[in-house]
Amino acid sequence: MTEERIEAMLAELSPAEKAGQLTQYFYFKLPGEVDPALGVDAGEQPRAVEAALGRGGVGSLLFVADPAETNRLQRLAIEGNPHGIPVLFGFDVIHGLRTIFPVPIAMAASWDPETIERGQAVAAREARAVGIHWTFAPMVDIARDPRWGRIIEGAGEDPFLGAAVAAAQVRGFQGGGIIAGPKHFAGYGASLGGRDYDEANISEYELWNTYLPPFRAAVEAGAGNIMTAYMDLNGVPASGSHWLLTKVLRDTWGFTGFVVSDANAVKSLETHGFAADPADAGARGVLAGVDLEMAVSEPAYDHLPGVPEAADAIDASVRRILAAKLRLGVLDEPYVDEDRAREILADPQHRAVAREAARRSAVLLRNEGDVLPLDAAALGSIAVLGPLADSRRDTIGPWVFDFDLDETVTVLDGIRRAAGDGVRVEYAQGIPVTQRVFPSMFDMFGGNRPADPDGFDPALELASAVDLAAASDVAIVVLGEYQNMIGESASRSSLELPGAQLELLQAVAATGTPTVLLVMNGRPLDLRWAAGHVPAILDVWYPGSQGGNAVADLLFGAAAPGGKLPFTWPRTAGQIPMFYGHTRSHEPQNQYRRYWDEESTPLFPFGHGLTYSTFEYANLSVSAGSAGVDDEVTVSVDVTNTGGREAPEVVQLYLHQRHGRASRPVRELKGFTRVVLAAGETRRVTFTVGPEQRRYWHAAVRDWVLDATTFDVWAGGSSTAELTTTFEVR
């Protein structure tokens, strides 16, 4: 029935209409939404798209999130088009639509697939209500270079954690009613020097073992779409790579959904010096396996009717697009109920889920002398300092478009609400609002950061912030990067705190008032000074529209932090790339002198994160001291909450293969689970370590292999866990 319906529709389409089904246009409502760098007439673009809708020349639209608009444009497609095929609406629903969740790297730091799934299900519910059928998310690119701004959109450095987070997001989005589009296939996170869009040269060994696993997990979780990557991968643009898009994705993994190009990435096959001209770019795109071209104007796929050798590929792609529309119910129910959409967007339950997610994603990096949690009853006054403490726009982070700043709770708001009447909470900006040196491509969607007040005098402002700190019982300093300093097209050559932030922190700490540093970020920053001088450091990321409430919950102990770092936190940019899963050198004893001018260790290791209690690990055991290569073993460990209050802990399992056909990383994460234990409680946690966890891709064999060898196992609360045992594989 489904197939017959698709075949019947396909048979009616002219070659131009088929090309139309394979074209996705941006639709910009406001001229200001068009990036001038795109070289498009901002006034003309929407009219050109509407004309194309009327002649059946559009299969999908992106960037529309208003239900009245999705309905209006859908009507143009259906009524103007002789075959009445509705369009699919895609959108970057990255960490929420109206209810904004913590940024993706923060959600990954929860190490809690259920929280992640629940969050994306809320985002999907809001999106579907306004007429969005499909999100360009999750971004599952492994990132080992934090200079790359898009590290914020992913799950960090590790393929195992990355795969779990990818699958959870796919389940969340698709369970919530929209198609998930894992991106950017593949290797984008390895762009040279962390420079956005630069080429990636990744060995086959790294590609299979490190960069591809999250994509495979997303496909196995049933993702309906995949987005290509912009950059050249090993000399071939990823968006024109038949090997990636067909051989690996479809032939090896059995992906049956549709592939979309990144924006303009088919056309730019010509820019890359790969395709000869736009027609060649279109032909190469569709033959490589790009079903749908995402375009701003003049799509390369306009040329497809003139490429007879691509006829079969075109038909196959049109079938996939129609199948997606059919499966989602878009063909039968193309319009949305605008009143219902408003109700869903306002659902208070969504805010509650976002608040819980923000609580679970914060990472307590340091807490000397148990400065945190604060005892509100014992405090007379709190100084809240730094421009990020009171910036709604920064609190929700980048990659959001349909947010409501009026309902966004800043850290200052949250502390004021939670501190209670007896506590004096005062705010000082302390330093000037720092701007990015170059404007961001997303500034067109509004910075909305409070500007420096009239007559702002930096020296006076710093002095009054320091006075306020000195006169208060505790100083809470919120530092980091403004949200437009990170994200797409926002790579950096350094990890330093921008502007005068360190100066403010140092001056406040020098007052002797107990100081808490809250970091608002999406990448590790240079916190070397803070890590030696500021007793409490809580990484709150960009915590979303309920962020301030969640942060206050954590500061005052209504909730205990339990997040763990999803990346290795280097001391300085000079150590990049730095990740825990490296192999050993021939002189491992020298590992402490990798650089003569800097420690070889990171500032904080992968998997690190404290809480308001302490945990001990004991009785690590393996079900069998010796197992066959195809056998599973189970590894168990006792975890005890040895502190005085209930608290979360992420129990982590690491493996190391001692010898074999390749040298393998010193440690690899192969299991984790987030538990909450009462004070004094012990829980035995068990992990399965089967062939799937032990196999690796061998570059010379060009296949997955399993070695008969000895494995070291560690269990604990970070990648530096010490409790260890071994088992043999025969």
Residues near ligand NOJ, by CB under 6 A: 92, 136, 183, 262-263, 488
Q: Give the β-pairing of 134-135 and 179-180.
A: parallel
**Min. distance of Cβ 150 from ligand NOJ in angstroms?**
8
CB of 670 to ligand NOJ, least distance (A): 30
| Rounded Cα gap, residues 198 and 576, in angstroms | 17
Shortest distance (Å) from residue 33 CB to ligand NOJ: 11
Among residues 183 and 694, whose Cβ is nearest to ligand NOJ?
183
Residue 222 to residue 658: CA distance in whole angstroms: 35
Pairing of β 668-677 and β 647-657: antiparallel
* Shortest reach from residue 523's CB to ligand NOJ, in Å: 17
* Closest distance of CB 432 from ligand NOJ, Å: 31
**DSSP letters along 70-111, please?**
HHHHHHHHHHHSTT-PPPEEEE--SS-SSSPPPPHHHHHHTT
Q: At what angle do helices 338-345 and 67-80 cross, to 10 degrees?
A: 150
Identify which of residues 402 and 488 has a Cβ nearer to ligand NOJ in the complex. Answer: 488
- DSSP codes joined into one string, 668-683: EEEEEEEEEE-TT-EE
Taking the complex as a whole, how short is the minimal distance between the CB of residue 159 and ligand NOJ, in angstroms?
Answer: 20
Q: Which of 627, 628, 602 lies closest to 718 in space, CA to CA? A: 602
Q: Which is nearer to ligand NOJ, 183 or 608 (CB)?
A: 183
CB of 136 to ligand NOJ, least distance (A): 3
Q: Which residues contact 152 (CB under 8 A, 6 or more apart)?
A: 103, 104, 105, 397, 398, 399, 486, 487, 522, 523, 542
Toward ligand NOJ, which CB reaches closer, 183 or 449? Answer: 183
- Please state the closest distance from residue 183 (CB atom) to ligand NOJ, in A: 6
Q: Which is nearer to ligand NOJ, 136 or 567 (CB)?
A: 136
Question: Token match 């001692």: residue?
Answer: 658
Catalytic residues: 262
Name the nearest CA neighbour of 305 among 507, 57, 91, 70.
57
Instruction: Please work out, in degrees rounded to the nearest 5, the angle formed at the alpha carbon of residue 561 by the alpha carbons of 507 and 158.
Output: 100
The three-class DSSP label of residue 224 is: coil
Q: Is the peptide bond before 387 cis (omega within 30 degrees of 0)?
A: no
Residue 329 region by backbone torsions, left for phi larger than 0, else alpha for psi between -120 and 50, else beta = left
Alpha-helix residue ranges (DSSP H) falling in 400-457: 411-419
Residue 136 or 727: the one with the smaller Cβ distance to ligand NOJ is 136
Residue 41, CA distances (Å) to 45, 298, 472, 715 in order: 6, 12, 55, 58
Residue 190 or 530: which CB sits closer to ligand NOJ? 190
Name the residue nearer to ligand NOJ (CB basis): 181 or 524.
181
User: Which residue is closest to ligand NOJ by CB?
Assistant: 136
Copy the structure tokens of residue 48.
């050109």
Q: Do residues 653 and 672 lie in contact, with contact meaning Cβ atoms separated by under 8 Å?
A: yes
